[in-house]
Amino acid sequence: MLNRAIDGLKHHIVSAVQESIRIPSVAGTPEENAPFGREVRRALDHTLTLAEELGFRTKNVDNVAGYAEWGEGEEMVAVLGHLDVVPEGKGWTCDPYSGEIHDGKIWGRGVLDDKGPTLGALFALKAIKDLQIPLKRRIRIIFGTNEESGSQCMARYVKTEDLPAAGFTPDAEYPIIYAEKGVLTVTCKASFEGDGPVVISSLNGGVAPNVVAASSQVILRAPAEERRRLASIVDSWNGPDRSGYKIVEDTAEGTLVIEIQGVPAHGSTPELGVNALLCVNDILSKINLGGSQASFVRSLNGIIGFETDGKSLGVAMRDRISGPLTVCLGTMSSNGPEVEFTLNLRYPVTKKESDVMPILEKTLTNAGITITKVKHAAPLYVDPETELIKTLKRVYEEQTGLQADLLAIGGGTYAKSMPNVVAFGPIFPGQSYTIHEENECWAIEDLMKNVKIMAQAMVTLAR
């Protein structure tokens, strides 16, 4: 009965996801009543308005979060999703904010991470409401707006709002995530002054700390004869598979522009991408630079190179539950005499921040690099014997016919923001993973499967 009701909502579900994608809710400049930017606030308002139209009680929590709720009871079951998205980046074959449909899929930034699952959860609750299924607990869909940039939205939510007796966040993969690595996002700076015939005028790349940089650009200023030699060095560069480059000479300005194309990937799985910033640094290491620019390039090549495991940084470690530490160089930009960059580290669940930061800071300091800012989210581990996990396992197995193995991931989710919550969906085992990549898309068939699984999970947890 519940699944049939959801099938009847298919057109509305797909349309709602498309409409949400058309709001480019990337974190922007804070404004009055829009702490994370105008478009992020617009996405929140749009979703709360939709929830009201569907007949739910709603609340806007200081313009950083909100929720839609149905049912009665002292206790509450929650589904946590987010409406903010990472920047679209380059390389799309369609408009990243169109929400267009072809090949049976919805295309656009955020369709999988996390607007599609979040709107799907809202319509799962509508089906439950329409059928008037008797429940002992309220069900609340919580809308966050800062998941990609630190989850400040949930930090604000937990200060004043009800916490769930049980819940899940459809922001990872199936079957069930019982462990999430700790996350460190470290902002660094270093001196970047040139000296000699070849000088770096600018060096930029990446869209966010938690995304493998898919493109980078360096502008070199040099005499004509030196520019020809530099072009020859680049042409002979033997970069990683799937990387590419383009050289543009501006004789009037006396510059050589080198653009590198890599392959994006989620910051928790940097080994799946090709980092364009590491590629450009490898090229620069073969050029006769001077001053602190030369020192920085040499240092970065020595402490990272093309590594994603933190070995040369001195922080390589692993555990049985969650595997190895990973490192992603996410963004870099030069500004006059300094260069700034971000490192996104995911460390094993049995380790602590203190196992990583002192060593990392020492390595960077010895390399002439200063840490200016650190964001930290502690690891998450949930006992597999909890009733929450047992219930979600049963729902998943009944709905899919597949075994519900427990997984540990490098990604961080809202499950870390409040107790009694784990990540559950939306990506099925063996499926392609386009989160944080160009051409993010989601099969409508899989969207609908998710809505049905989430609806059954809500009902089972709320009874």
Are the C-beta atoms of residues 325 and 348 closer than 8 Å to each other?
Answer: yes
Q: Catalytic: 100?
A: no
Of 39, 84, 437, 440, the active-site residue reads 84
Instruction: Give the tokens for residue 4.
Output: 């049939």
Helix/strand/coil (H, E, C) string of the chain? CHHHHHHCCHHHHHHHHHHHHCCCCECCCCECCECCCHHHHHHHHHHHHHHHHCCCEEEEECCCEEEEEECCCCCEEEEEEECCECCCCCCCCCCCCCCCEECCEEECCCCCCCHHHHHHHHHHHHHHHHHCCCCCCEEEEEEECCHHHCCHHHHHHHHHCCCCCEEEECCEECCEEEEECEEEEEEEEEECCCCCCCEEEEEEECCCCCECCCEEEEEEECCHHHHHHHHHHHHCCCCCCCCEEEEEEECCCCEEEEEEECECCECCCHHHCECHHHHHHHHHCCCCCCHHHHHHHHHHHHHCCCCCCCCCCCCCCEECCCEECEEEEEEEEEECCEEEEEEEEEECCCCCHHHHHHHHHHHHHHCCEEEEEEEEECCEECCCCCHHHHHHHHHHHHHHCCCCCEEEECCCCHHHCCCCEEECCEECCCCCCCCCCCCCEEEHHHHHHHHHHHHHHHHHHHC
Rg, Å, the chain Cα set:
24
Of 69, 147, 171, 180, the active-site residue reads 147
**Three-point CA angle 382, 384, 386, nearest 5°:** 80
Nearest to 440 by CA among 10, 52, 116: 116
| Size of the chain, expressed as the number of residues it contains | 463
Any bridge partners for residue 345, and if so which?
Answer: 184, 327
Peptide bond into 426 cis (omega under 30): yes
Nearest to 20 by CA among 77, 66, 87, 83: 83
Q: Catalytic: 84?
A: yes
Reading phi first (left if > 0) and then psi (alpha if -120 to 50, else beta), residue 108 is in left
**Three-point CA angle 459, 68, 113, nearest 5°:** 85
> Which residues carry out catalysis?
84, 147
